[in-house]
Amino acid sequence: MASRNREPEPDSNPDPKRSIRSTEEDEEEEERPAKLRRSDGGDQVTDGGDRRGRPEGEMKQRYLVAVEYVGTRFSGSQQQPNCRTVVGVLQEAFHKFVGKPVSIFCSSRTDAGVHALSNVCHVDVERISKRKPSEVLPPHEPGVVKRAVNHFLQKNEGDIMLIDVRCVPPDFHARFKAQERIYFYRLLCGPELLSTFEKERAWHIPEELDIFSMQQACNILVGCHDFSSFRAAGCQANSPVRTLDELNVSEATPSPNFPSILGKEMVNTFKEQPLECSTSSEMESSTNSASGMHANNGVSTVKCSQLFGQRRSHRCYIVTARARSFLYHQVRLLVGVLKAVGTGELKISDVERILNAKTVTATSPMAPACGLYLGNVKYDFS
């Protein structure tokens, strides 16, 4: 594992020169005061900061919500006109719950096709009595918010859900209070086509990967560097310097996996050994080994170590990247270089050359969005 322990410091289309600024990760690590911005509708709203001069009696509670989603059918996380986005769908669900519009602010921006095991947002909610609209009620409990919003989310496409909710102070900002972000990238290796269940969930690499060489490349890239070679055109970060606390490659069990049906031993057989067939006669005796067949009423039977109808598994590798903040498309550009090292397209010495070039034109093609997962966002609640 390549990792650096430090005080914690947000990421990812295969053309790294693409200049269109979409909604992928481009996180600033420093805390900043709330700024006025213009929303899609043209109204001025605060960027999630503590609002001053609230009307007397207004009791808004700020909630921190963790959300998981499959990014395939989203045009990214940030709200865009005439597009289905993570923030747009969340705001619609909260609107139905509380009966009035809300603004949601994400800790990390994700591109179209990028998934999240846990992205974190904050939202201010005021609880108003439906019978007496002028009456302000005590805030909802977090569990009530989670159940109610999920009720409306499940009536949508069913590809997004709240997984946790907690109350936070009114000045707690999901983006600027984040201490650390972890991303995972899934690579499935093998000559067979991807399973239907894995479509748009991983990057399929037909060749085998040299994981040892990939880990050596990780050791070069981890730490504090000028990552100009690993940020795409359109990056708005003030500085290309980032500290990559961890970057490593590990093998994982392919998914979907059903242990009760398909034992680990059988999974390893499919994954590591070629298809081997033996005849029933070979299993019964060696007398017919020359022919390799056993006549049974004139019909030859062949028994194989792989069950008929059972798909052969791909090898699954996970690239883990951990830092306080990432540049625009940084993780996907890093994975693109690691993959090139794993297939032999690049040598270990090329990785250092690319890093020192300080230009994205020196980097390998960017990894596709479908394999990237925002894994977790960490905070200090003390």
User: According to the CATH classification, is domain 184-254+314-372 in 2.40.50.100?
Assistant: no
Please say if the pLDDT value at position 11 is more than 60: no
Q: What is the distance between the alpha carbons of residues 121 and 146, in angstroms, rounded to a whole number?
A: 13
- Which of residues 330 and 295 earns the better pLDDT score? 330
- Note if the pTM is more than 0.85: no
- Domain limits of the chain? 32-168, 184-254+314-372
**pLDDT at site 312:** 80
Tell me the pLDDT band of 258, cut-offs 50, 70 and 90.
low
State how far the Cα of 260 lies from the Cα of 43, in Å rounded to an integer.
55
pLDDT at 56: 46
- The CATH classification number of 32-168 equals 3.30.70.580
Q: Does residue 329 come out as left (phi exceeding 0), alpha (psi in the -120 to 50 range) or beta?
A: left
pLDDT at residue 133 is higher than 50: yes
- The reply to whether 184-254+314-372 shares the fold of 32-168 is yes
Angle (nearest 5°) at CA 371 between 110 and 12: 35
Of the pLDDT bands very low, low, confident and very high (cuts 50, 70, 90), residue 286 is very low
* 241-256: average pLDDT: 91
Burial of 382 (0-12, 13-18, 19+ CB in 10 A): exposed
pLDDT in tens, 29-59: 333 333 333 333 333 333 444 444 444 446 8
Catalytic residue of the set 40, 47, 50, 111: 111
To the query of whether residue 26 is one of the catalytic residues in this protein, the response is no
Q: Which residue has the higher pLDDT, 170 or 263?
A: 170
Mean pLDDT in residue range 231-235: 91
CA distances from 84 to 113, 198, 203, 347, 349 (A): 12, 22, 24, 41, 43
